[in-house]
Amino acid sequence: MLVDTDGNPRVLDFGLARPMEDSAAGMLEGFGGASGETVAGEFLGTFAYAAPEQLRGDPDLIDSRIDVYALGVMLYESLCGCKPFVSAANVAELLLQRLEAKPKRPSEIRAGIDRDLDVITLKLLDPDPDRRYGTADELRDELDRYLQGKPILARDDSVAYVVWKNVRRHKVVSSGAGILLTTIVGASIALSIAYANTDAALGKAQRSLNSLKNSMTSVDPELGRGSSELGVNDFLTLVAEQVNVELGDDPELLSGILVTLGLVHLGFDNAEGAREAIERAHQIRFHAYARGEVTGVELAEAEFALARLRFNLGDFVASERAYQAALALYAQELGPNALLTVEVMRQLASAQRAQGKFVEARCSLKSAIDRSALLEESRESAITKAGILNGMAALGRAEGDFAATLPLYREALVALAPYVEADDFRIGRTMYSIALMQEALGEGDAALENAMEAHRILLLRKGAEAKSTKDAAVLLERLRAGTPKAE
């Protein structure tokens, strides 16, 4: 590809192009008998621009995303003046880099490159094709958003994703250890400043990392107060204590970590453990927003966390109020059809339903459904859409319409399955709801099967003391008591 004197890119060589549709493949007949197929194990192309799946030689993995990867290499070169992988000691190391690794961020190679360009470039170069932009059109739209100063849709890999990927890669067989490891790191990061560009923000990021390091040391059994009996919630409490000491004089930075710690507590159904962290973070950000020191999105994040806390504590009126505040802020800052706006809207319906405000809940869910139809296809949007289906089903259950509710839960399960692990907690929670409806409809055998799987997943993901796990255990015991033993 060359750029002409008018600045227009010109593709000079289509030598390895092939049609993507069977109908188009037929057009090649008569031109040397070519079918456009690639032989298994065969590699064609320029190594520096080849996607990992090309290097593996599996023709079933080859689709338009290899071109997206090549565009990523070109963007990297344009930004950095070099190709992504240039530091390997030998060919074997270079091949391993290409198959599994991501390159350095462009901003690490050349100062002044925007963080959003880092994120876009590394998404293009992800070794997993499912995590890249699906088409060149998606990339074009993303770059348009960047050039117009709008928020981009791509996000950095979360700490939890990175850690879990490494747990899987190194075959950590203890699910408890894997969950705890993910929790430890995920609970201890202020994500919003991890790759900031200004000197002041970089200083905050370094201070945050130092605080996290000291927090880890505080629960080390050899250096601090840790022990082999330390549970997740105890661990989070100790980390929160240490972070409060480390960052007590920097409340805005502290609030980011406290929100994360509180949400992880909620993830383990420990609302009381989450209360102090989330309430303090909300107070910090509420006053900082009034002084113009944090953004509306940052306050919305705190309101969202507060709403979830209040819901888990059973204060549904306060939960609805906080959801409404978060909804208004997200709609103002990100737009009425943004993913986070839709997500808050569907959770707002839960708080309304819990108060018996069924008309309002149905209105919120309908608005969420309409806006979700405008979301771009992604894992996050699919999870939100499944959540809306679950919300509709829960509303039907509250109204006593069990027959109409069961298909909605099943539809939510189907929507989730391609995007999450088979033992994801959302799968377990939905299967529990399905089992409840099957019990109500007299489908005892099917209910028992789903309840067993739901309990297994929730026990694995949330632990025996979580409310959701206990609810599943009660249902399972009830179904077993009412189901005759197989002969």
Whether residue 170 is predicted with pLDDT greater than 50 in this model: the reply is no
Whether residue 338 is predicted with pLDDT greater than 90 in this model: the reply is yes
The burial class, CB within 10 Å (0-12 / 13-18 / 19+), for 343 is buried
Pairwise CA distance, residues 331 & 324, whole Å? 10
Whether residue 127 is predicted with pLDDT greater than 90 in this model: the reply is no
Residue type, 82: C
- Helices (H) then strands (E): counts for the chain: 22, 2
Could you give the C-alpha distances from 142 to 117, 133, 433, in angstroms and in order?
A: 10, 9, 38
**Report for 115-129, 230-244, 289-303: range of highest mean pLDDT:** 289-303
Specify the DSSP class assigned to residue 10.
Answer: E
CB atoms within 10 A of CB 267: 19
* Helix ranges restricted to H, 18-89: 22-25, 52-56, 65-80
Higher pLDDT, 432 or 167: 432
**Collapsing DSSP states into helix, strand and coil, what is residue 3?**
strand
Q: What is the pLDDT of residue 483?
A: 55
Q: What is the pLDDT of residue 193?
A: 40
Residues 173, 175, 179: CA angle, nearest 5 degrees: 130
Q: What is the pLDDT of residue 228?
A: 46
Q: What is the pLDDT of residue 222?
A: 43
- Distance linking the first and last C-alpha atoms of the chain: 71
Asked whether 480 and 444 are in contact (CB, 8 A), the reply is: no
54-63: list long-range contacts, CB under 8 Å, 24+ apart: 55/95, 55/98, 55/99, 56/99, 61/129, 62/38, 63/20, 63/129
Q: What is the pLDDT of residue 10?
A: 78
Q: What is the pLDDT of residue 267?
A: 83
Asked whether 306 and 298 are in contact (CB, 8 A), the reply is: no
Question: Sorting pLDDT into bands at 50, 70 and 90, what band is 187?
Answer: very low
Q: Which two tokens stand for residue 307?
A: 């709403």
Domains of the chain: 2-147 (1.10.510.10), 158-184 (no CATH), 187-294 (no CATH)
pLDDT tens string 227-243: 445 566 666 676 676 66
Pairwise CA distance, residues 272 & 262, whole Å? 10
Question: Sorting pLDDT into bands at 50, 70 and 90, what band is 247?
Answer: low
Pick the range with the lowest mean pLDDT from 124-133, 175-184, 457-466.
Answer: 175-184
Higher pLDDT, 457 or 55: 457
Q: What is the pLDDT of residue 463?
A: 84
Q: What is the pLDDT of residue 56?
A: 67
Q: What is the pLDDT of residue 486?
A: 39
Question: Sorting pLDDT into bands at 50, 70 and 90, what band is 186?
Answer: very low
Asked whether 17 and 66 are in contact (CB, 8 A), the reply is: no
Q: What is the pLDDT of residue 251?
A: 78
Pairwise CA distance, residues 165 & 171, whole Å? 10
Q: What is the pLDDT of residue 443?
A: 93
Output the average pLDDT for the chain.
Answer: 77
Q: What is the pLDDT of residue 178?
A: 44
CB atoms within 10 A of CB 464: 9
Specify the DSSP class assigned to residue 169.
Answer: H
CB atoms within 10 A of CB 123: 23
Higher pLDDT, 102 or 6: 6
Whether residue 200 is predicted with pLDDT greater than 60 in this model: the reply is no
Q: What is the pLDDT of residue 173?
A: 36
Whether residue 155 is predicted with pLDDT greater than 80 in this model: the reply is no
Q: What is the pLDDT of residue 36?
A: 42
Could you give the C-alpha distances from 404 to 121, 288, 391, 409, in angstroms and in order?
A: 45, 46, 13, 10
Question: Sorting pLDDT into bands at 50, 70 and 90, what band is 304?
Answer: very high
Q: What is the pLDDT of residue 207?
A: 52
* C-alpha radius of gyration, the chain, whole number: 25
**Collapsing DSSP states into helix, strand and coil, what is residue 315?**
coil
3-class DSSP string for 417-485:
CCCCCCCCHHHHHHHHHHHHHHHHCCCHHHHHHHHHHHHHHHHHHHCCCCHHHHHHHHHHHHHHHHCCC
Residue type, 332: Q
Select from 337, 245, 335, 334 the least CA-distant residue to 295.
334
Stretch 419-429: mean pLDDT: 91
pLDDT tens string 344-401: 999 999 999 999 999 999 999 999 999 999 998 888 999 999 999 999 999 999 999 9
Higher pLDDT, 332 or 53: 332
Share above pLDDT 90 across residues of the chain, in percent, rounded to a whole number: 38
Q: Which two tokens stand for residue 385?
A: 């859409």
Pick the range with the lowest mean pLDDT from 134-143, 150-159, 208-217, 297-306.
Answer: 208-217
Q: What is the pLDDT of residue 43?
A: 43
The residues near 307 (Cβ < 8 Å, ≥ 6 apart) are: 319, 320, 321, 322, 323, 325, 326, 344, 347, 348, 351
